[in-house]
């Protein structure tokens, strides 16, 4: 299996599992920034643009609303 396939599978699994949880509190209480090592981030951006945009969107929202 290629690296990008493994990475995509991991990201989709994490998103699916996190969608099943019903935590209490608002976004700032629950969410955390998604950070990668530089090498992994380059692969995510290059191989799965949609996942990179979702991650970037969450991180920007958290910066703006939660002060991350």
Q: Is residue 16 part of a domain?
A: no
Q: Tell me what pLDDT residue 63 has.
A: 95
Q: Is residue 14 part of a domain?
A: no
Q: Is residue 28 part of a domain?
A: no
Handedness of CA 58, 6, 8, 27 (dihedral sign): negative
Q: Is residue 17 part of a domain?
A: no
Domain that includes residue 62, residue range: 1-8+34-68
Mean pLDDT of all residues in 48-65: 90
Q: Is residue 66 part of a domain?
A: yes
Q: What percent of the chain has pLDDT over 90?
A: 25
In Å, the largest CA–CA distance within the chain is: 38
Mean pLDDT of all residues in 28-46: 87
The total number of structural domains in the chain stands at 1
More confident position, 8 or 57: 57
């Amino acid at each position: 299996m290629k690296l990008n396939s493994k990475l995509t599978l991991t990201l989709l699994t994490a998103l699916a599992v996190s969608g099943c949880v019903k935590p209490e509190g608002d976004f700032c209480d629950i969410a955390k920034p998604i950070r990668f090592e530089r090498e992994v981030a380059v692969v995510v951006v290059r191989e799965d643009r949609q996942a990179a945009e979702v991650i970037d969107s969450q991180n920007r929202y958290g910066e703006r609303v939660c002060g991350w």
